[in-house]
Amino acid sequence: MNSVVQNVKKLSLIIFMCSALVGFSQTKKNIDLSNSDILIEGTSNIHDWVIDVNKFEGTIHFDAKGQKITSINDLTLKVWVESFDSGKSKMDNNTYEALKLKKHPSIDFVFTNTKSLKSNGSDEFSAVIKGELTIAGKTQSVEIPLEILMNNNKFNIKTSKSINMTDYDVEPPTALFGTITTGEEVKIKFNLTYL
């Protein structure tokens, strides 16, 4: 009789655990390059400037229950420096040199953990993630705030992050024998759609 009771308890526990998992899903999505943008904004002693980034790739892994994100488990991003386009070839070449393109062809972000995640409505979420950002071969720990929209199969992240180039041993580019100088801080704006 005791063995029957124990088997019933085990079966009940298994059924409870399985039912608790119903509705939860682990999801991996890749960046949809055709519907995503990365812009780098900066200043100089002459005028402000903007660089379009034309080649990047990345993934996000998250858990969800229905339309509710329950955790962010991973996020990676690789940005190819040679795809930077300001519309001015001389400025682009100076940027490639400052970022040590030949030795370090990409800027990389690798996720370490989620600091916070909250729902702002039925399909909107905000989060702060932490990770390692590598620019020109130097890696720093960073925190990045995210605004997330999850609507059916569409998953969109918007954020911006200010970075001081000297933190990564990047000498701000100059032109015309140093008469044009760029500011040390740049702002990177992300509008990333994942499919």
Contact between 186 and 193 (Cβ < 8 Å): no
Residues 6+ away with beta carbon under 8 Å from 18: none
Contact between 180 and 94 (Cβ < 8 Å): no
What is the per-residue pLDDT for 152?
Answer: 72
User: Two tokens at 170?
Assistant: 């990047």
Strands in 18-83 per DSSP E = 24-30, 37-42, 49-53, 56-65, 68-80
What is the per-residue pLDDT for 7?
Answer: 54
What is the per-residue pLDDT for 99?
Answer: 95
Q: What is the pLDDT along the chain (195 residues), one digit of tens a residue?
A: 556 555 545 544 444 444 343 444 678 999 999 999 999 999 876 778 999 999 999 999 999 887 889 999 999 999 999 999 999 898 899 899 999 999 999 999 999 999 999 999 888 999 999 999 999 999 999 999 999 998 877 799 999 999 999 999 998 876 655 556 787 899 999 999 999
One-letter-per-residue 3-state SS of 3-24 = HHHHHHHHHHHHHHHHHHHCCE
What is the per-residue pLDDT for 147?
Answer: 97
What is the per-residue pLDDT for 19?
Answer: 38
What is the per-residue pLDDT for 171?
Answer: 86
What are the structural domain ranges in the chain?
24-194
**Regarding the domain delimited by 24-194, which CATH topology (the fold level of the hierarchy) does it fall under?**
Lipocalin (2.40.128)
What is the per-residue pLDDT for 176?
Answer: 55
139-144's contacts with Cβ under 8 Å and 24+ in sequence apart are: 140/167, 140/168, 141/112, 142/109, 143/115, 144/109
